[in-house]
Copies of this chain bind each other. A is one copy, B any other.
Amino acid sequence: MKLNTKSRYAVMALADMAVFSNQKAVSLRDISLRQGISLLYLEQIFLKLKKNNIVKSVRGINGGYMLVKIPKELKILDILLALDQKVKTIGCKKDSKKSCNGKSTKCITHNFWDELDIHINSFFESKKLSDLLKNKEVRY
């Protein structure tokens, strides 16, 4: 039961931005240095964040990225979805006629996994980027 690193880095990078941007664009180079994430990897991640309207870009010298929403209004769920990190613990498709075991009806565990997905989803839905910034003990 793991989250992929792209999602983790995305959240980490956005939290970094929230802390260090002063209404200015934050360059990936700076995030890379501060958070120890590969610049090349960050580029790939931010490409998706941009496509999903989580950040907007500023090109050229002194360019970088800016958050589209304020941290208090940016759901963690939206970040995960931007990185294709679906909260779907099993592969059974709701719309498909076939259940996970190839039969025509839902398997004995189906409803349970649904409940699980809802439980996890609601966590990510309720948490905002700003919730990460509350703890003052962390080092940046």
Contact = CB atoms under 8 A, between A and B. Distances in A.
Interface in A76-91: 76, 85-91
A48 B131 CA distance: 39
A65 to B, nearest CB: 17
Chain copies in complex: 2
B90 A112 contact: no
Interface residues of A, number: 46
B16 A89 contact: no
A60 interface: no
Given A36-B102, A108-B133, A119-B120, 17 more contacts: A1-B3, A1-B87, A2-B91, A3-B90, A8-B90, A8-B109, A12-B101, A15-B108, A35-B101, A36-B101, A76-B112, A105-B138, A108-B140, A110-B138, A112-B132, A119-B123, A120-B120
18 contacts: A1-B1, A1-B88, A2-B90, A2-B91, A11-B109, A12-B101, A36-B101, A36-B103, A37-B101, A106-B137, A108-B138, A111-B132, A112-B127, A112-B132, A119-B119, A119-B120, A119-B123, A120-B123
